[in-house]
């Protein structure tokens, strides 16, 4: 006895994958140039450094502005 999926079951069994595009961002902080990667996933701005990451979705500002602010917060916490 074999296992067979109908077209409808196949469609519901498929997993939707999205491509996340990471971009570089740089800020000046206490006289130093700091860089990190950021991306927007489902309306959430995510910033990553080798030592930490932060995310925010609550601000109405543009994603690059949010990413810069998050990178400054990471720098304040010593995570860059």
Residues 8-37: b if buried by 16+ CB within 10 A, e if exposed = eeeeeeeeeeeeeeeeebebeeeeeebebb
Q: Is 7 inside a domain boundary?
A: no
Q: Is 27 inside a domain boundary?
A: yes
Using the predicted structure, report yes or no on whether residue 58 has a pLDDT greater than 70.
Answer: no
pLDDT of residue 42: 86
Q: Is 8 inside a domain boundary?
A: no
The stretch 10-15 carries a mean pLDDT of 63
Q: Total domain count for the chain?
A: 1
CB 74 within 8 A of CB 49: yes
The range of the structural domain enclosing residue 27 comes to 18-76
pLDDT of residue 16: 74
Q: Who has greater pLDDT, 25 or 5? A: 25
Residue carrying structure tokens 């080798």? 50
pLDDT of residue 47: 97
pTM of the predicted protein model: 0.75
Q: Is 13 inside a domain boundary?
A: no
Q: Is 4 inside a domain boundary?
A: no
Q: Which tokens is 66 given? A: 């949010």
Q: Is 1 inside a domain boundary?
A: no
Q: Is 12 inside a domain boundary?
A: no
pLDDT of residue 11: 62
Q: Is 37 inside a domain boundary?
A: yes
């Amino acid at each position: 006895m074999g296992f067979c999926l109908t077209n409808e079951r196949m469609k519901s069994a498929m997993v939707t994958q999205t491509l996340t595009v990471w971009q570089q961002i740089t800020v000046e902080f206490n006289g130093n140039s700091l860089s990190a990667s950021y991306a927007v996933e489902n309306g959430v701005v995510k910033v990553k450094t080798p030592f930490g990451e932060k995310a925010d979705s609550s601000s109405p500002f543009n994603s690059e502005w949010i990413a810069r602010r998050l990178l400054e917060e990471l720098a304040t916490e010593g995570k860059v």
